[in-house]
Amino acid sequence: MAASDLLRPALLAAARSPRMERTVTKIPVTRNLVDRFVAGETEDRAVTAATGILDTGRFITIDYLGEDTTDLVQANGTVSHYLTLLSSLAQLAPAAANTREPRSIEVSLKLSALGQFLPRDGHKVALENAHKICSAAEEAGAWVTVDAEDHTTTDSTLSIVRELRQDFPSLGTVLQAYLKRTEADCRDLSGPGSRIRLCKGAYKEPASVAHQGKAAVDDAYLRCLQILMNGQGYPMVASHDPAMINAALQYAAANGRDVDEFELQMLFGIRDTEQLRLIDEQQHLRVYLPYGEQWYGYFMRRLAERPANLAFFLRSLTSTK
């Protein structure tokens, strides 16, 4: 077993540990590394970063970091933040030439940050809050995609997505290939007008619900990707893995998809040179751009995903005086 396979569960567990959060956030060098993956803590910093990315021909999806809230005031505050952000982004969003043309600007939402876990009426509150954001995004000329979280939220999340799509047919959602249920979800959600972001998965999940190990997850990703490319929706291929990207391009060509019928996605701060190379090859590529003060959980999941990220972090620690 690779060292990364041993480290990943520990890092994912640490992502949900308040004690580890207090420890990691107090290390001075952490801030410098976080800036590699997170576009600052303020809306101004996020909009500045977004403008720079758009100027290179890439698309963006912006995530205001936060999750697992059980406080109604905090959930409503997250909604207000997104509404203000979308007002700023409206100035950057060009009008789409036609309904088939992808929108260059998108926001990503975590329903748990919108009240999904509230002890009373969590589903209803999250639905209403997401509806407000979707309405503002439509006015701003932006798309919205609902992020995936751990497997215990999947049924609730997809239920809310289906309700929202009655009013906002372009609403996207994320499916995680490592979950054993995802092939069926891909078939169910790959109809006309659907937008599915397929990622491998970034949470610690038990073997009863999720494939374990890189090879099994890679195989599951390819099966899910083929289902989406064979479908009638708009696949969004979220991966930094060259094998997955090459497969996506091959599947798209085999299904006669043109450049406006799918896109590739990568994270802010990862494989920037490759992102620009793909743009030069006339592919659509969207950058997932997170920002905000609640960066810890996101940051730890990025360390868990790639050994190179963790090695970079450890070198930074040992080189600090």
Cα torsion 204, 209, 211, 212 to 10°: value is 40
> Which among 197, 286, 301, 302 is annotated as catalytic?
197
Cα torsion 243, 101, 55, 248 to 10°: value is 0
| pLDDT average, residue stretch 132-159 | 96
Q: What is the pLDDT of residue 320?
A: 39
Residue linked to tokens 């080189």:
319
User: For residue range 158-192, what is the model confidence (pLDDT) as tens digits?
Assistant: 999 999 999 999 999 999 999 999 999 999 999 99
User: For residue range 279-306, what is the model confidence (pLDDT) as tens digits?
Assistant: 999 999 999 999 988 777 777 777 766 6
pLDDT(82) > 90: yes
In the annotation, is 147 catalytic? yes
- pLDDT confidence bin for 319, thresholds 50/70/90: very low
pTM of the model: 0.86
User: For residue range 195-229, what is the model confidence (pLDDT) as tens digits?
Assistant: 999 999 978 889 999 999 889 999 999 999 999 99
User: For residue range 83-99, what is the model confidence (pLDDT) as tens digits?
Assistant: 999 999 998 877 655 56
User: For residue range 6-58, what is the model confidence (pLDDT) as tens digits?
Assistant: 566 665 565 566 666 566 666 665 666 677 788 888 999 999 999 999 999 99
- pLDDT confidence bin for 316, thresholds 50/70/90: very low
DSSP codes joined into one string, 30-83: HHHHHHHHS--SSHHHHHHHHHHHHHTT-EEEEEE-------HHHHHHHHHHHH
Closest CA to 161 of 96, 90, 111: 111
Helices (H), the chain: 3-14, 18-25, 28-37, 43-55, 72-89, 122-140, 154-165, 182-188, 214-230, 242-254, 272-280, 296-305, 307-318
> Which among 147, 150, 185, 218 is annotated as catalytic?
147
Q: How far apart are CA 145 and CA 199, in angstroms?
A: 13
